[in-house]
Amino acid sequence: GETILVDAPQGLAGRMPGDTFVVHTSTGPLLFHRVSVADPCVEFSRFCLSEEPSMTVSDAVRQALVDLDGGARGYRAVAAGRGVLRLGDQLEPR
């Protein structure tokens, strides 16, 4: 799978109603389905905090796991077709 970075000034947590969204590209709309919350994990939280790998989990990582839950980390989805996404394409929740 690929990663899509989205500029969302208010964040993405709780902002993906339903299980589909569309990205409007220069060549037409690209539908994504089976949307689900990407649960935060220790490794991603450490990456966000610039922490080194460790056998113990710091308080900062524990808090990041809470803060990144509910869609704040992002979402997973499956593209219904093929396409190329470019800077400036628009995402529309459905």
pTM above 0.85, yes or no: no
Give CA angle at 15 (10, 19), nearest 5°. Answer: 155
Strand partners, 79: 32
**Other residues' Cβ atoms within 10 Å of the Cβ of residue 32:** 20
Could you tell me which residues come within 8 angstroms of residue 47 by beta carbon, excluding any fewer than 6 positions away? none
**pLDDT tens sequence for the chain (94 residues):** 677 877 777 877 777 767 899 999 999 999 999 998 888 899 989 998 999 999 999 999 999 999 988 888 788 899 999 999 999 999 988 8
